[in-house]
Chains A and B, each alone.
Chain A
């Protein structure tokens, strides 16, 4: 493997899916088997590239890799003449390696799974089958671009490509309508997702522009690994705002993440994104999209935390991340408890888990956030694909019983699927346990535990506000963890345990092997990925350097962060809350499974609170009343009636009338002068012709007379002229 090729590999990562996209769109969109073969092949190539890069990175060691990232960049745009260029390229540093560990494999699983999910080889194969794989490929290309980018601008390009793809894929079934007019359709969900994320993106773009004006570069290595630059940005204050330049840039960039990673208050789009096909949900919720938002803040963490020292007072972006992240985690977890749609429960759990990562960054736990990002991607992809398998099975039951009115995604219509779909059940159980954080075995436990431990340390040792922030994060995340365990048990209980509550569930059956295989692969990672991040001093015993992830990714920072010392309190808290949640869920939903026709026991226990949670704290209604309706009012009354109709149209009409008047004068001029003149000339010609036509008599002798007279006249003239 030559050195040049290796350096080029990061740049090449997005290329195979991009080629696949164009091949499918342009050439193979009529041939289903070829389309999915190309898409799967492209992801396989990416997995191979990823493995090569990971191996190389491993051999180089984190220290070398951090100082000399594998990568290549090219001169792109000249600035200040030719001496200073904006460079574009791809690179792999330890943090990118962390991303490359899960992104290619998760994307491969999702694309492969889609073959079965979109019904290849069955009678109900999707009519836009090839298009789906084209969009998935473009989505993957966007994510790889974002991951390997070596500057913020290229990252933003990948970011926006994914924004487009999420719009296209959420609205994939754009012609679908529901009987209930209040139920959001895929079209509306796609528009909602696009516009909501756009709010964050605009602010993020402002942040990028501001960073460029202040730093003169957007290259990661030139900003994030340059202590002098970070120091300058942290020391300079923004005039009039009383906040450091780094702080304002950080807040603006974080706004992009709030939109992309669905944090409060821009979380509303993510649950509705469930209207897309399930593999898309998996793509958005694990491998790409929301991970991209967290990846960006993790990547920019040195800038966001510029001026902060360990356990010192937090910077403005860190405060924002800690407050919003922890609040979102608790907030989304409570909503998830009261949802009945199998995918919506997972959607809210995603929002909550993203809140964990953001909150972790708020207390300075850079590595813990990155680690949770990796583990979460595996188990959330697993859970989504598992739920897709369940829905697929239920829809099979719907085809079988010709009952298309029962909602195949409503958990209240399921039950007892454990025996019908054993593979799905066991893999889903593994994913659910990883999400809950079942101690010691699952990946989710290790990453969550690290976040809790870091926030606990911040709470105890933090100075100047960091202590309060740490306490806020620690307490909210702990409560959220208990809720997570509870609703996961509720979900699995309602779906798989007990007896089937409808005919659909009775006739459900296991999905095809193309859907099961990705589940198994992801299940293995959902457990094993956690072993990379076991603390060195777990339980107070020196295990040596077993926290591979920490040592490797930590090198991405200038100053290698020290791992927190082992403390029993967060560990026990973690085990306690998870245990409580799991046991509670077990008692309510597993021990006495819900019978057919019986109400959900949680409705009675929570009383009116359940109604509030079920309606997601009425956030959609709130936004509708205070943002969408006023916007519509402004659009209809002010912009349309007043500005468009009166001012712009009025102006246009005045211009039109004026032009018409001028044209009328021109027309008169045309009729009288030009047409009249030409007609007069014509008439004179006619008169003349009429006058001389009598000469043509047809009589030869008269002609001869004429010529004789002419000859005489000519002769006379000649004589007169010559004689002079």
Chain B
């Protein structure tokens, strides 16, 4: 059985990719996908830590399921927003969406 640290390293890498995606990509859909990556990195952490520490309780699994639900809801709302922005501007470049500046 692989040690716990390997899971955590993979999870950290995945999270960093997600963060990079969120900060660097210009396409709103790509940012949404990067957020999904970060959420899944967190899920991986949760499951790994649960499996190695408290396998007798189903708490870690339940927590991961909650995160899926939140991720699904977030994706739904995010996509809806993006579509409505697209309908207005015919593009989804995040850098141009700066109506909330001073």
Contact = CB atoms under 8 A, between A and B. Distances in A.
B19 A698 contact: no
A179 interface: no
Contact of B23 (A693, A697, A698, A701): A701
Interface in A669-696: 693, 696
A265 to B, nearest CB: 95
A701 B22 contact: yes
Given A705-B23, A708-B19, A708-B23, A700 B101 contact: no
Given A701-B94, A701-B95, A696 B22 contact: no
B69 interface: no
B97 A699 contact: yes
B94 A699 contact: yes
A704 interface: yes
A696 B23 CA distance: 16
A699 B19 CA distance: 16
A699 B24 CA distance: 12
A699 B23 CA distance: 11
B101 A698 contact: yes
B99 A698 contact: yes
A704 B23 contact: yes
Contacts of A701: 22-24, 31, 94-95
B95 A698 contact: no
B97 A696 contact: no
Contact of B22 (A693, A698, A704): A704
Interface string A451-494: 00000000000000000000000000000000000000000000
A701 B35 CA distance: 12
B34 to A, nearest CB: 11
Nearest to A705: B23
Contacts of A700: 94, 97
A379 B43 CA distance: 126
Q: How large is the interface on B (under 10, 10 to 19, 20 to 34, 35 or more residues)?
A: 10 to 19
B100 interface: yes
Contacts of A696: 100-102
B94 A698 contact: no
B98 interface: yes
Interface string B64-102: 000000000000000000000000000000110111111
Name A's interface SS: helix
Contacts, number: 30
A654 B31 CA distance: 81
A697 B22 contact: no
A701 B19 CA distance: 11
A697 B19 contact: no
B98 A697 contact: yes
Contacts of B94: 699-701
B85 to A, nearest CB: 12
A699 B98 CA distance: 5
Nearest to A696: B102
A284 to B, nearest CB: 90
A696 B98 CA distance: 9
Contacts of B23: 701, 704-705, 708
A705 B24 CA distance: 10
A21 to B, nearest CB: 79
Contacts of B22: 701, 704
Contacts of B99: 698
Interface in B16-58: 19, 22-24, 31
Contacts of A699: 94-95, 97-98, 101
A581 to B, nearest CB: 115
Contacts of B19: 708
Nearest to A689: B102
Contacts of B101: 696-699
A712 to B, nearest CB: 11
Contacts of A705: 23
Nearest to B99: A698
A701 B96 CA distance: 11
Contacts of B31: 701
A697 B31 CA distance: 18
B29 to A, nearest CB: 14
B96 to A, nearest CB: 9
Interface string A141-174: 0000000000000000000000000000000000
A707 to B, nearest CB: 10
B28 to A, nearest CB: 9
Contacts of A708: 19, 23
A283 B9 CA distance: 121
A696 B101 CA distance: 5
Nearest to A694: B102
Nearest to B96: A699
Given A701-B24, A708-B23, 9 more contacts: A693-B102, A696-B101, A698-B97, A698-B99, A698-B101, A698-B102, A699-B101, A701-B31, A704-B22
Interface of A: 693, 696-701, 704-705, 708
26 contacts: A693-B102, A696-B100, A696-B101, A696-B102, A697-B98, A697-B101, A698-B97, A698-B98, A698-B100, A698-B101, A698-B102, A699-B94, A699-B95, A699-B97, A699-B98, A699-B101, A700-B94, A701-B22, A701-B23, A701-B24, A701-B31, A701-B95, A704-B23, A705-B23, A708-B19, A708-B23
